[in-house]
Amino acid sequence: MYADCDDLASAHILFDRLSQPNVFAWTAITAFYSRNGMPDECIQMYGEMKSKGVSPDNYVFPKVLRACAKSSHIKPGIQVHKDVITCGAESNVQVCNALMDMYSKCGDVESARWVFDRMVERDLLSWNSMISGYVCNGFLMLAVNFFDSMRLEGFEPDLVTWNTVLDAYCRMGQCDKAWKIFEQINEPNIISWTTLISGYSRIGKHKVTLGIFRNMMSRAGVYADLDCLSSVLVSCRHLGVLIHGREIHAYGIKTEAEFAFYKSAGPALLTMYARCWRIQDVRNVFDLMDKSDVVTWNAMILGFADLGIGHLALECFRKMQSVGIQNDQTTISTVLPVCDLKSGKQIHAYVKKSSFSSVIPVLNALIHMYSKHGYIETAYSVFSNMVGRDLVSWNTMISGFGMHGFGQAALHLLQEMNHSGLSPNSFTFTSVLSACSHSGLVDEGLELFYRMTVAFGFNPGMEHFACAVDLLARAGRLEDAVGFIKRMPLEPDKRIWGALLAASRAYQNISIGMLASEHLIVESWLSTYKPSASTTTTIWFFFLLYHHTQQ
């Protein structure tokens, strides 16, 4: 009773008076520790119970296994599994579910699957545990496939299942599929909404993110939590929508405790204000955040980096070091891209001696920094010496080659990337096409453009069409570029006409220059697009030139 009422002191007094506590008494005391976030004490009590000669049963196993899962202690978890087998409890559904949860949370998803495959009987929690285990350990397609298998077995998903599969699709960046899952949920909760909002924010669909957030806030009984507010603030930052950012700021301090709000959503809020050039607001938010937390300083550095004020980002980085805040991989990978070459080399020297020397995001930032400053050989040296690489590593190096017109090197690296087992994404193709354009590799670039769909199953976006137009236009093939635009399945935008306009001026083609100018003017009338000063000058140049030729 005392343990159930969370009165540990009274429970222990009573427990200690027992000359020979039975399994029920041990179960009650271990359950208390497991339930109240004291996993080590729970595991210790389980060990004492066994040392006293008391055999565990089906009720105590799940509680101890939950403690092992919470503390990520796989060794005692394996020992409990052995005890389960010894006691003949391996056919108990609750015990098996707890075993799967323990193995998954300790990172051993194969053992979790081994338990699942040998279960005589399964319930919905069994399937949920396995699907969740796959998602938590990054096996996202396996989670989705397992979900399909579950439905074929006749199990109907509950809210936990839907939210887990929703999370899997969002983590894969397949938010449109996630949306279809979301639509099947009868009563989505805040986890459902936050997962979807975070997913769209992560893939850069920030207008959609804000739309979903507004939809959520219009529903009765649904209130945004801190994770949700942080994701929406990230989208506000990318869109530069100060008014919405301020509304979320006001909502957050009204509905959440101030310390909790600024600790969780403060970094996103600070960088949102920085992107909108609200420097005083940046300082105000910074003053309310926890200065002993590296996340606070990282947000400030990112804020300056967003504004392109590299020297202030560096100043903040040095100030952080001087007050004794230990930087982390986010600090280094945020400050490096905005460093001057001298500071970048100094940080590189520090990285070599630190625990960050093999951290992929840090090495990616080094590749970017050296590429930006034209030290492409040094960038490639960092890339070549990486033990492991992610998609960003390949994209950053390919982009570096493209930036400096090394088209053949970019194409070769794309080939290597395919052989490594990683699939290119939209940014990869944009970088390689841009590299071909800057290197005059017209045929190679066009071949890649057409192979995107055939060989990679990738539908080109507007940015890829713009690269192809730029590829043709830069090479002087302006008529071909116009023909390409006419055959586009998408309505050409300012990027398409801008590329054509720039090349028309370079090659003094009045008729095509006028065509591009007219479309850019219409674009500016129909949207919020405002041509840059150089684009406006070029448009006037063509109108004057055209007028002159007509006289």
Residue range 28-53: average pLDDT? Answer: 74
Cα–Cα distance for residue pair 33/56, rounded to 1 Å: 16
Query: Is 170 exposed, middle or buried (CB count within 10 Å of its CB: 0-12, 13-18, 19+)?
Result: buried
pLDDT band at 311 (very low <50, low <70, confident <90, very high): confident
For 496-537, the pLDDT digits (tens) are 888 888 888 877 787 777 787 777 776 655 455 455 555 455
Q: How many angstroms separate the first and last alpha carbons of the chain?
A: 101
From the list 193, 198, 197, 199, the residue with the least C-alpha distance to 175 is: 199
User: Is the dihedral angle over the CA atoms 296, 302, 304, 306 positive or is it negative?
Assistant: negative
Q: Stretch 178-202: mean pLDDT, rounded?
A: 93
Alpha carbon separation from 512 to 153, 215, 440, 442, 470 (Å, rounded): 62, 45, 21, 20, 14
Residue 343's pLDDT band, with cuts at 50, 70 and 90, is very high
Residue corresponding to tokens 């007509």: 550
d(CA 271, CA 1): 50
- CA dihedral (533, 539, 540, 545) in degrees, to 10, reads 150
Q: Would you place residue 83 in the very low, low, confident or very high pLDDT band (cuts 50, 70, 90)?
A: confident
pLDDT reported for residue 21: 62
Q: How many secondary structure helices (H) and strands (E) does the chain include?
A: 33, 0
DSSP state of 336: G
**∠526-532-537 over CA atoms, to 5°?**
105
Contact 476, 468 (CB under 8 A): no
Q: What is the pLDDT of residue 548?
A: 42
User: Which residue, chain included where needed, has tokens 């389980």?
Assistant: 46
Confidence class for position 111, pLDDT limits 50, 70, 90: very high
Tokens 């940015």 belong to 463
Q: Give percent above pLDDT 90 in the chain.
A: 43
Say if residue 7's pLDDT is above 60. no
Q: Is 428 exposed, middle or buried (0-12, 13-18, 19+ CB in 10 A)?
A: buried
Q: Which residue has the tokens 């193995």?
A: 103
The C-alpha atoms of residue 452 and residue 50 are separated, in whole angstroms, by: 62
Structure tokens at 353: 């001696």
- CA–CA separation, 83 and 50 (whole Å): 10
Render pLDDT for 431-458 as a digit per residue (tens, 0 to 9): 999 999 988 899 999 999 988 888 888 8
Q: Given this model, what pLDDT does residue 91 score?
A: 87
Kindly give the interhelix angle for 60-71 and 93-105, rounded to the nearest 10 degrees: 10
Q: How far apart are CA 493 and CA 49, in angstroms?
A: 72
- For residues 360-381, average pLDDT: 95
- DSSP assignment of 177-200, as one string? HHHHHHHT-SS--HHHHHHHHHHH
Would the pTM of this model clear 0.75, i.e. be above it? no
Tokens in use for 374? 């034209």
Do residues 401 and 407 lie in contact, with contact meaning Cβ atoms separated by under 8 Å?
A: yes
CB–CB of 171/135 below 8 Å?
A: yes
- Residue 66 is encoded by which pair of tokens? 């939950």
Q: Which two tokens stand for residue 294?
A: 């590296």
